[in-house]
Amino acid sequence: MELSLELRVAREAAFEAGKILTRLFGQLKEVRMKDEMELITEADIQTEQKILDIIRRQFPEDSFLTEETGAHRRRPERVWIIDPLDGTTNFAHGFPFFATSIGLELDGEMVLGIVYNPHMAEHFEAAKGMGAFLNGNPITVSQTKTLQESLLGFGFPYTIQKKPEEAMHHLAKMIVHPQGVRRPGTAAVDLCYVAAGIFDGFWEEGLMPWDTAAGTVIVREAGGMLSTYQGAPYTPRSQTILASNGIIHEAMLEVLNG
């Protein structure tokens, strides 16, 4: 699949968004509540606008699904799925885990993903059939054999305060098995850390398509496995996500469903 132009444009959009994030990190003037739990800042708005401008300039007929401005429907077979700033709460508090996430879905299949954290200088990228890369170097998932030897990532949905039971139940089940469990606060990067073999697995419920779209391509191309908590094939529109190195996938499914 020839995606070099798409990759070049998505890369430029991510790097330009990264410049905005770098300029605004620690310098935010406006942090508002989007709803009871979720923040929105000028960084979310400015990065989304910049990314849309860059990709639209090259692909004016393509469709977009973005966190801040929703669905822009044109050609249905080409959809860019974008989270301009994944980890807004971290960003607003000066916690340096955040990223721009840009994915491309062609005919219903995710084929390209870029996740870029400018603060950590981590640029993850993958395209279908071409492998996954961190700053240009190939990455693969870990070879960790057991849940007991694993480091896992997870996340909570913003609805946790109103409806904590299910997510807490899954956390309580999982936390007693691995060497460690971490909650970095950016699902896009969590998935890339599975792809890079830093995390051996990751689970979360209630994510939106833009949180995971790019990351799923990067996990798959790094040799990882994705499913729902029920073990069904994962798409960015699924309600639950389990990502792993493949080896510990079944063990994680058993714990989540036990």
Q: Which residue number has the CB closest to Ca ion?
A: 86
Identify the residue among 103, 118, 178, 185 touching ligand IPD (CB under 6 A).
Answer: 185
The closest alpha carbon to 41, from 79, 85, 104, 76, belongs to: 85
Q: Please state the separation of Cα 201 from the chain's center in Å.
A: 14
Whichever of 144 and 212 has its CB closer to Ca ion, that residue is: 212
The answer to whether 178 and 251 are in contact (CB under 8 A) is no
- What is the number of residues in the chain? 258
Identify the residue among 9, 48, 64, 67 touching Ca ion (CB under 5 A).
Answer: 67
Residues 207-226 close enough to bind Ca ion by CB under 5 A? 211
Q: CA-CA distance, 46 to 50, in Å (whole number)?
A: 6
From residue 83 to residue 112, the character string flagging contacts with ligand IPD as x (rule: CB under 6 A) and all else as - is x--xxxx-----------------------
* Cα distances (angstroms) measured from residue 232 to each of 15, 208, 211, 215, 243: 34, 17, 19, 18, 12
Whichever of 86 and 190 has its CB closer to Ca ion, that residue is: 86
In three-state form (DSSP H/G/I as H, E/B as E, the rest C), the secondary structure along 173-192 is HHHCCCCEEECCCCHHHHHH
105 binds Ca ion (CB under 5 A): no
Residues 10-69 close enough to bind ligand IPD by CB under 6 A? 38, 67
211 binds ligand IPD (CB under 6 A): yes
**Residue 221 interacting entry, from Ca ion, ligand IPD, none, C-beta within 5 to 8 Å by type:** none
Binding piece for ligand IPD, criterion CB under 6 A, among 4-12, 108-116, 154-162, 225-233: 154-162
Determine which helix (DSSP H) or strand (DSSP E) holds 165, and give its type and residue range: helix 165-175
The two beta strands, 75-86 and 70-72, are: unpaired
236 binds ligand IPD (CB under 6 A): no
Binding piece for Ca ion, criterion CB under 5 A, among 61-69, 121-129, 132-140, 222-230: 61-69
Q: CA-CA distance, 248 to 148, in Å (whole number)?
A: 10
187 binds ligand IPD (CB under 6 A): yes
Could you list the residues that contact ligand IPD (CB under 6 A)? 38, 67, 83, 86-89, 155-158, 185-187, 204, 207, 211
